[in-house]
Each structure stands twice: as C-alpha cells, then as structure tokens.
Amino acid sequence: MAHTSDSPRACELPDEDATVALAQRLADLVCGRLPAIASAGGRIHLRGELGAGKTSLARALLRASGVTGRIKSPSYALLESYNVSNLQFYHFDFYRFSDAHEWRDAGFGELLDAQAVVLIEWPEQAGTRLPPPDLDIFLEYAGTGRRAWLNARSEKGQRWLTYLNPPHP
C-alpha cells in the first residue's frame, strides 16, 4: 500500500494523563484546528487487546473535540455518534460484530464515506468491509502504563504523524 509507513512511531503512555495528552493532539488534527492541516475529519483504527486503552483514548479524543455529557463505550450498541459544531463523530466498536446484514441495514458503509471523524475499535472484526484508515493506532501494555504504535495509512495520516512527531532540527 502506497501510504503505509513501514516504521510505526512508538508513543509511550505511562499513565492515563499521557493518553489524554495524545488524544488532545489528535483532536486538534481531526477537528481541523491547525492551520497546517485545516481539513477536519479522518478515520482512526484503534487496535489492541482487551483493556489496552482503546475506549479511553477515543473518549478523551471526543471530549477534547468538544463532546459534552456522557460518552458511552459503543461495545454493546456498535456505534455511538455525536455532533459538535457541524462535525459528525462516529465511534464504533466491532468486538461483537458478526452479522453481515447488520452492516448493510445500519448503513455503516455510508457513514464511512461521509466527511466525518470515525474512530473504530476492533476494526479487524469487521473483516474486509473497512477501507484503510488514515491512522492506525495499536495499543499495548507497558508496565503499569501503555505504549501506542502510530502508523499512517494515508497521506493525511502521514501529515498527522509529522505534526505529532516533528523531526528533530
């Protein structure tokens, strides 16, 4: 794949504050708050075993994007959606996904095409239905904290990584 970066970037997340800090920077990107990357929207896959911190990261990103009120894990409903200042946010969790009809009937495919912020936990459970994301985040346990591996899968994702991890002068 043309835009797949061969070397994922590691981001140490020793505690939940570090996860929130990463989420805040991602929120700036997906909300189009940075002059350099002004187009809002984008798709992020969140992978990693149970409890690795996928929902924590998604929740902090949604909060930093301006979502107020309760942010539920979509582990039962498959999808929770939000709207902030005319930007649509879709938070999926495909852990329990099994039914191909459900996919079609729910119109998930159309949501993925929209100009929106799409966060997907357990994307591997959706089989081949999903297009590649802009950014793939793999979370793993690291001592009492976590480590995130960030991998760009599109040109937009590459620009995000440049912002998140600027090359040292």
Q: How far is the CB of 169 from ligand ATP (least distance, A)?
A: 28
Residue closer to ligand ATP, measured from CB, 13 or 120? 13
- Residues 92-131 close enough to bind Mg ion by CB under 5 A: 121
Q: Name the binder of 51 from ligand ATP, Mg ion, none, CB < 5-8 A by kind.
A: ligand ATP
Q: How far is the CB of 32 from ligand ATP (least distance, A)?
A: 26
Q: How far apart are CA 151 and CA 169, in angstroms?
A: 22
Bridge partners (DSSP) of residue 136 are 45, 151
Q: How many CA atoms lie within 13 A of 92 on its CB side?
A: 27
Closest of 59, 51, 47 to residue 19, by C-alpha: 59
65 binds Mg ion (CB under 5 A): no
Q: How far apart are CA 51 and CA 111, in angstroms?
A: 27
Of 43, 47, 54, 153, the residue at the interface with Mg ion (CB under 5 A) is 54
Give Cα separations from 82 to 43, 54, 67, 70, 142 (angstroms).
15, 18, 7, 11, 31
Give contact residues for ligand ATP (rule: CB under 6 A).
13, 15-16, 18-19, 48, 50-56, 75, 95, 121, 145-146
Q: How many residues does the chain have?
A: 169
55 binds Mg ion (CB under 5 A): yes
Pick the stretch among 51-59, 62-70, 110-118, 160-168 that binds Mg ion (CB under 5 A): 51-59
The Cβ of residue 119 has, within 10 Å, a number of other Cβ atoms equal to 28
19 binds Mg ion (CB under 5 A): no
Residues that bind Mg ion (CB under 5 A): 54-55, 121
